Amino acid sequence: MVEHHIQIYDTMTRRKRRFKPLNPPTVTMYVCGPTVYGDPHIGNLRTFTLGDLIRRWLEHRGYLVKYVMNITDIEDKTIRDSGNAGKTLKEFTDYYTGVFFRGLDLLSVKRATAHPRATVYVPQMIEFIQTLMEMGVAYNAEDGVYFDIDKFPRYGELSGVDIGKVERTERVASDEYDKEDAQDFSLWKKATPEEIERGIYFESPWGRGRPGWHIECSVMSKELLGDTVDIHAGGEDLAFPHHENEVAQSETVTGKKFVRFWLHMRHLMIDGGKMSKSLGNYVSFDDILDKHTPDALRYLYIATHYRRPLNFTWGNMENAQNTLNRLENTLDLIENTMKGPDDNMDYGEREKKLLETVRAEKRGFVEDMDDDFDAPDALGHLHAINGAVNEYLTEPANKGVLREAADIYGELLGVLGLFEKRSAGGDEATERLIAMITDLREEQRKEKNYAFADLIRDRLAEAGVEIQDTADGTTWKLKS
Ligand code: AMP
Ligand code: ZN
């Protein structure tokens, strides 16, 4: 493992602390996943992309990251909207889970180690609630089972809500509620007649019903990552009540610290307000894709620190696209130069200066990323490398030297998850395999075995490779 000095800002202790996982080299990380009731907007996607950036950096530093992101497929909104759409809960949430993954794939957000669906863990949730009941911290009311927050003295510590000062209503059934209220929250909700009719319920010791939203994350985190996780992350709006409630439940049951580092991503804003589905002020991912590449959006996200709000404007988006294109032009330039003649074997001042700059800027990049994942500052170093390479390429290049500089440039772009699609499938082994297949097909054509030649063409197309017969032979390209 590489020696490092990663520092992470922890919401609970409200300061940056040196990061060391509980069981190195493993890092356990849980990110509260999406509620799959609609297309994710670019605010949601920011949170998940920044989670991915953090994971990639930890992996780059040699950690084995066990990364769990749940799919919230049963809570108030999924039930309500699937009903309105005339779909079963499963049809409805499966569809939006697919939409969500498509978004992640386009943004080069790596799949988590596990993406558990809440509905699959209901037996464990029931067991968890039973433990809370036996411990006397939960009670059974008319419409469900509630957690009694008076029984958890540290309630409010994470988010800083002072429960002495806030308005204290008795209890709340809804999964989401106002910042101003601290309330006993729902662990188990008894089924309504409509839910019974639609078959949306599970049998439990408290009758038919379903889990509350907060218990879902506590249980899936425990089941998949253990009692204590190194990092738990989510958007800033989740600190209260969602994460506060998770702490209360989990620490009561296990008697252990639930989370060692709490990370909260600030919101994506539009016109000075939070972008949100319920406010209707959102820009969808498809709106972006109409005009820009997914990598440009990823760049826009990365260029603002995760603990700062990002104000979305189309102008910013435009700038992100231009900057990204500039970074990509350098990749093209490098590739073309590497394919060109080998006419400079010098190792002179220009070469020395290039390598010194690139190595020093890489160290700067690493220091910034180690410091609470400061990607905006790290990008400054990346641009310095970009500038140095461009400058070097204004005159004939020593390919060995260029290779080293290009490798560092590519490595840092890779850590940021940029241009991943660019290299996909275009590697040497793929090129040789496709050349071999098209040669074999050519022989079949010479033998007038046209049906077989067509079959090869069709099968290649199925595999995403389009071929074309030209006067100069067969050419191919990957279908985008
Ligand atoms: P939801 O699907 O509403 O449960 O939200 C999924 C994730 O997106 C949560 O971590 C939220 O905190 C986060 N989120 C919601 N709105 C925004 C926003 N405007 N900017 C960034 N993240 C957000
Ligand atoms: Zn959660």
Tell me what pLDDT residue 50 has: 98
Q: What is the mean pLDDT of residues 241-266?
A: 98
Distance 241 CA to ligand 2 centre (A): 10
- Main-chain phi, psi angles of 110, to 5 degrees: -70, 145
Q: How far apart are CA 236 and CA 32, in angstroms?
A: 11
Tell me what pLDDT residue 156 has: 92
| Ligand 1 contact, 276 CB (< 6 A) | yes
**pLDDT grade for 59, boundaries at 50, 70 and 90:** very high
Tell me what pLDDT residue 434 has: 86
Question: pLDDT, tens digit, for every residue of 201-231?
Answer: 999 999 999 999 999 999 999 999 999 999 9
- What is the layout of strands, in order, in the sheet containing 26-31? 64-69, 26-31, 229-235, 259-265
| Ligand 1 contact, 51 CB (< 6 A) | no
The letter for the amino acid at 109 is: V
| Ligand 1 contact, 61 CB (< 6 A) | no
Q: What is the mean pLDDT of residues 263-272?
A: 94
Is it the case that residue 16 has pLDDT exceeding 60? yes
Q: How far apart are CA 263 and CA 357, in angstroms?
A: 33
Q: Write the CB contacts of 40 (distance below 8 Å, at least 6 apart in sequence).
A: 34, 48, 99, 100, 103, 285
Tell me what pLDDT residue 182 has: 75
Q: Contact, 378 vs 415, CB < 8 A?
A: no
Tell me what pLDDT residue 424 has: 45
Question: pLDDT, tens digit, for every residue of 364-419?
Answer: 999 999 999 999 999 999 999 999 999 999 999 999 999 999 999 999 999 999 99
Question: pLDDT, tens digit, for every residue of 157-200?
Answer: 999 876 666 555 567 777 765 545 678 999 999 999 999 999 99
Q: Write the CB contacts of 27 (distance below 8 Å, at least 6 apart in sequence).
A: 21, 58, 63, 64, 65, 66, 230, 231
Which residues line ion ligand 2, judged by CB < 5 Å? 32, 217
**pLDDT grade for 465, boundaries at 50, 70 and 90:** confident
| Ligand 1 contact, 232 CB (< 6 A) | no
